[in-house]
Chains A and B, each alone.
Chain A
């Protein structure tokens, strides 16, 4: 019942905000090239649905590739950094520096090396999605209960065996939690790159529609991006609840 009420609240707020938006646009007679109302945006979405869907698919594909590669790199490097702690100490400052480096200024370098379109988008997505995965994998591996390690050491387990048998399962909840940040980050990377270095994808459509003052199309593309973002976050949340629910057992009981 309480949950139903909360959902109701949410729907009412969204509806009120959309209605106010439409009302303001109509009453103040704001031109659609400055701020289109929700109805105009919905009409635009419908009328250009075929090409928009194509660009959305392109962006989604790039995000998926970047996200998946980011996970792979993050997990491999995270495990390596925990396994060889000297490597961690050597790489830590470099990783901090790379984390701080604004990814927007790196896009031109990717553009220079790999040309337009998918390669720079995927590389930018990896460079953003990689960090939350890495930090969470390291945090997960380091948070193994010390009793477990003692027991395994007493039974003669190697360092690699401890990491594989206890570290990895222990890390899964952390990893799945990182998906919720890494997925949207990959989308940000793809969008940035598409705005600067692509001839298709939603980022490109947004910049293009801006330069020809087609604001309704711009809003329609932003809505598509938002839907991808919500989908990524939602999928990660569902995935987390399904496959890491055992980690939260304690909190629900």
Chain B
């Protein structure tokens, strides 16, 4: 990719965002849509800048809950994924349970988690944990199970034991799948934390968004949505960078295209 091309692309997408913002502003002001339904973006940005410190404190609360849940979910998902990938007995036995759990929208468990773990931070962390755990578990297991048979044959010819084969080949080759799931899980953790906050918390973005909506405070509502959107994009980007740098070898073929 040539530099000029890349600059052109960035310019194109930036100008599209500006175009959307202008369109929003014109729609809101031109059609005289009342602020409780659609506030003009200038108003939202003004509100955002004015109340940024207070809003950021709520964003950090949510982020703390989401990231702690994501971290715990990742550790648990990786570990269980390795176990299921290593032992075909475990895989065969637990796969149907896994499918059953996978089919439940995890977000539906929030009221139950709230009943079990009281109010506020704990249910938010547990919800984030559960929403991020499943994609990681499924992808890690898949990554181990669809290993190239040629590689396995080669390792066996060299006399590798099952354990060595697992550590030296299966785990490294499952990492691209793991990191792909991690990006999805990052977004999922924020969804989980905010949803739990909507149902049972006195602070955090989820609580603030729902309250603002109920009170028709659209300036506050849109500012919070915009802010948590930016935070999510940043988290997603960060996890993508991790993916590219840590398992760079999985993308070797694509770079040349």
Interface residue ranges, A against B (CB under 8 Å): 6, 9-14, 17, 34, 86, 89-94, 96-97, 99-106, 108-109, 111-113, 184, 187-188, 191-192, 195-196, 202-203, 206-207, 209-211, 213, 215, 218-219, 221-222, 225-226, 229-230, 232-233
Contact = CB atoms under 8 A, between A and B. Distances in A.
A178 to B, nearest CB: 14
Interface of B: 9, 12-13, 15-17, 20, 36-37, 92-97, 99-100, 102-112, 114-116, 187, 190-191, 194-195, 198-199, 205-206, 209-210, 212-214, 216, 218, 221-222, 224-225, 228-229, 232-233, 235-236
A89 to B, nearest CB: 5
A10 B92 CA distance: 7
Nearest to A207: B111
Contacts of B102: 184, 229
Contacts of A191: 105, 107-108
12 contacts: A13-B94, A14-B97, A94-B20, A97-B233, A100-B229, A100-B235, A104-B191, A105-B205, A105-B228, A108-B221, A192-B105, A196-B199
Which 9 A/B pairs are nearest by Cβ-Cβ distance? A210-B111, A229-B103, A108-B213, A10-B96, A100-B232, A13-B93, A188-B105, A93-B13, A104-B195
A92 B116 CA distance: 41
Given A9-B93, A187-B105, A203-B108, A101 B229 contact: yes
Given A9-B93, A192-B105, A209-B111, 10 more contacts: A10-B95, A14-B100, A90-B15, A96-B236, A188-B105, A191-B108, A206-B111, A211-B111, A225-B108, A232-B103
A222 B112 contact: yes
Given A195-B110, A215-B115, A230 B94 contact: no
A213 B112 CA distance: 9
Nearest to B94: A13
In terms of DSSP, what is the predominant structure of the interface of chain A?
A: helix
A203 B195 CA distance: 12
A109 B198 CA distance: 13
In terms of DSSP, what is the predominant structure of the interface of chain B?
A: helix
B111 A89 contact: no
B191 A86 contact: no
A101 B228 CA distance: 7
A126 B114 CA distance: 28
A225 B105 contact: yes
